[in-house]
């Protein structure tokens, strides 16, 4: 394992591309034979990355731990159920972070879980504070809290300039999911 200082990388904003950027980083890391884990907080349905990531095994593993996105995209799951799922996903994530067996861990949509109050901010802060020094930790999601931005080493904000959804074009297989 590499003993370099790991980074905390934060992809946030209202534009498309947060998860895509994180997955691109994972793809690049696999080229260097790095072990990567992706824990998804918001996605609970089939996405193309699930099949694609299986082809990168054993270097990459993905765990879906969410109940969808709170109150959007037709999600009718109660906030209580979202909180329970987020807590369970966090417990798995935290255990894996502390295991020190991964080079990169992506906590996909954890920022959104914090901003929508289904996961306490203090847990995300604990994740960053307690991570092994060498681990690169990637956090994604809408509405990053200032505390997370301050703790991150690299922050990229995705800004929507134009989106086909505004023209009535729904999510596209292989592009959006």
Tell me the two tokens of residue 35.
């072990």
SS (H, E, C) the chain: CCCCCCCEEEEEECCCCHHHHHHHHHHHHHCCCCCEEEEECCCCCCCHHHHHHHCCCCCEEEEECCCCCCCCCCCCCCHHHHHHHHHHHHHHHHHHHHHCCCCEEEEECHHHHHHCCCCCHHHHHHHHHHCCCCCEEEEECCCCCHHHHHHCCEEEEECCCCCHHHHCCCCCCCCCC
Tell me the two tokens of residue 8.
């905390």
How much is the pTM? 0.90
Cα dist from 107 to 45, 74, 124, 155, 161, whole Å: 17, 23, 10, 14, 25
pLDDT at position 4, please? 87
Residue-wise pLDDT for 21-80, tens only, equals 999 999 999 999 999 999 999 766 677 888 899 999 999 999 998 766 655 555 567 888
Percent of the chain with pLDDT over 70: 90
Tell me the two tokens of residue 29.
């890391």
């Amino acid at each position: 394992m590499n003993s370099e200082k790991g980074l905390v990388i934060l992809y946030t904003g209202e534009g498309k591309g947060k998860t895509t950027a994180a997955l691109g980083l994972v793809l690049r890391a696999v080229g260097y034979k790095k072990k990567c884990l992706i824990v998804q907080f918001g996605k609970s349905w089939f996405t193309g990355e699930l099949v694609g990531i299986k082809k990168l095994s054993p270097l990459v593993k993905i765990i879906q731990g969410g109940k969808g996105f709170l109150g959007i995209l037709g999600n009718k799951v109660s906030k209580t159920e979202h909180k329970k799922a987020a807590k369970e996903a966090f417990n798995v994530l935290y255990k894996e972070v502390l295991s020190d067996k991964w080079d990169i861990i992506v906590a996909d949509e954890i920022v959104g879980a914090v901003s929508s109050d289904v996961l306490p901010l203090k847990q995300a802060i604990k994740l960053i504070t307690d991570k092994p020094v060498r681990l690169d930790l990637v956090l994604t999601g809408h509405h990053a809290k200032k505390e997370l931005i301050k703790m991150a080493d690299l922050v990229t904000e995705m800004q929507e300039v134009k989106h086909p959804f505004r023209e009535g074009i729904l999510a596209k297989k292989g592009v959006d999911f």
